[in-house]
Amino acid sequence: MQVTEPLRPRSRKVKILATLGPASSKPEMIRKLMFAGADAFRINMSHGDQKSKAKLVEAIRALEKELKRPTTIVFDLQGPKLRVGSFEGGSAQLEKGRKVILDQEDAPGNAHRMELPHPELFAAIGPGDRLLIDDGKVRLKVLESGETSIKAEVMVGGTVSNSKGVNVPDVVVPIPALTEKDRSDLEFALEQGADWIALSFVQRPEDVAEARSLIGEKAALMAKIEKPAAIDRLNDIIALADGVMVARGDLGVELPPEDVPPLQNRIVACARQFGKPVVVATQMLESMITSPTPTRAEVSDVATAIYDGADAVMLSAESAAGKYPIEAVSMMDSIANSVERDPVYSSRIHFTETRLEPTIADALSGSSRQIANTVNAKAMVVFSKSGSTARRIARERPPVPILAMSPSQTTSRRMGLYWGVHSVHSRDVSAFEEMVGKAKRMVLRHHLAAGGDRIVIMAGIPFGTAGSTNVLHVVRLVGDELERHTTPE
């Protein structure tokens, strides 16, 4: 029997972003993932064709309509891929200490030379810079570089096969973040109604600005932090983006592994200070691709991201191509609930000090958490046309759930990655009394409060004007409120 009631809000605040793929492409599987705990879905444009992605969107939107729950879709663009050419016999063994030449000649490589079909790299790279092949399994150090060839020494040897990826961690690679494929995929994603676009290969603020010029206001823009160069311009990049993703897989290739945890903490804290949602991603429950249970270290890793204050944690191959997609989502849901029940969780996520802007909206958002604590409120209700007020409140990490109502379906969907926010697409209000009555009805309908509880309401007057938040109101629910207010929304 299909569910017709709205899906109840999660008991946890942190969101789960699940990647869809071969193991989770059927509508019934997507539905199971949602009930297991997935709050949003990632569509990875690095694999598959646009036609198959359109079917995923269709399935998600059908589920959204059935469950009456605005559902977030993140389209993740592939970005540029640097690769070596082909090899005689398909591979070559590079010995540590040997010298190797990389050039632009379209000819099969061997243990002494290989093709690097990216002319732009030759001018950018210099002596001492590193070339990491196949996710860093083979490492080269540049000795000499010219316009057409690079001489390097093998620092870590191994087998290199056809078209393996190349990472260049020590330079800003002079290529744009958007390839022709990305531009085509971006146009497709916007036509499909993408809620968020995740931009790969971000190195500079200019990369974000270029994508923004193409996206406009059609979708929110998430900058993936996966290049060391992006760390040097982190504040500028986050300022231009709507959110960020800590893409630890590529960061862990281009940086020493021991540097990734403190960088993760720094990126999460920086995003929190800007009031932008931050997703921690890659290899979170990696062993669950083939195992029904995770390692203890993976459980601790997910918990650490949640203690750091991340808005969302993401599953990649675990839900896209693994044998146990439902179990992976359920495990992440269980970890999140366990962490948030920890008495020290609240103090941990408030280690990061958030700076308020000198605006009425920020002043009210900043004080809302203290007010909710003081009056022992059970929920916060925010009327938000653009979603900015809900984002501000989420930044403060209040102790109660945030019910965010918006007349904009686009806004309702985008808010699905905001910490602690349960979004509802609902028609706007036009008067103060209507606002109070609707807030009461909706928290009761969504089981966030009961008779006798207090709730905190935030809105802007005049109603329907984006960015006008100037009202904070505390009310108490009466016992028969739900029975007296049954008007459909």
Tell me the CA distances in angstroms from 219 to 25, 49, 386, one per residue in order. Answer: 23, 21, 12
Query: Tokens standing for 206?
Result: 């200019």
If you ran DSSP here, which 8-state letter would residue 169 be given? T
CB 403 within 8 A of CB 446: yes
Helices 205-215 and 180-191, interaxial angle, to 10°? 40
Tell me the CA distances in angstroms from 58 to 63, 68, 198, 320, one per residue in order. Answer: 9, 15, 20, 17
User: Is 354 among the residues known to form the active site?
Assistant: no
Order of strands across the sheet with 99-103? 113-115, 99-103, 149-156, 138-145, 130-133, 166-167
Choosing from 26, 61, 81, 83, the catalytic residue is 83
Choosing from 13, 31, 130, 224, the catalytic residue is 224
User: Is 96 among the residues known to form the active site?
Assistant: no
**CA gap 436, 456 in Å, rounded:** 10
User: Is 233 among the residues known to form the active site?
Assistant: no
Backbone angles phi, psi at 262, to 5 degrees: -65, -30
CB 77 within 8 A of CB 50: no
Choosing from 12, 15, 42, 414, the catalytic residue is 42
Choosing from 19, 71, 282, 410, the catalytic residue is 282
- Pairing mode of beta strands 130-133, 166-167: antiparallel
**CA gap 353, 395 in Å, rounded:** 10
**CA gap 254, 78 in Å, rounded:** 18
Which amino acid is located at 120 in the chain?
E
CB 281 within 8 A of CB 250: no
User: Is 484 among the residues known to form the active site?
Assistant: no
**CA gap 165, 348 in Å, rounded:** 38
Catalytic residue positions? 42, 83, 224, 282
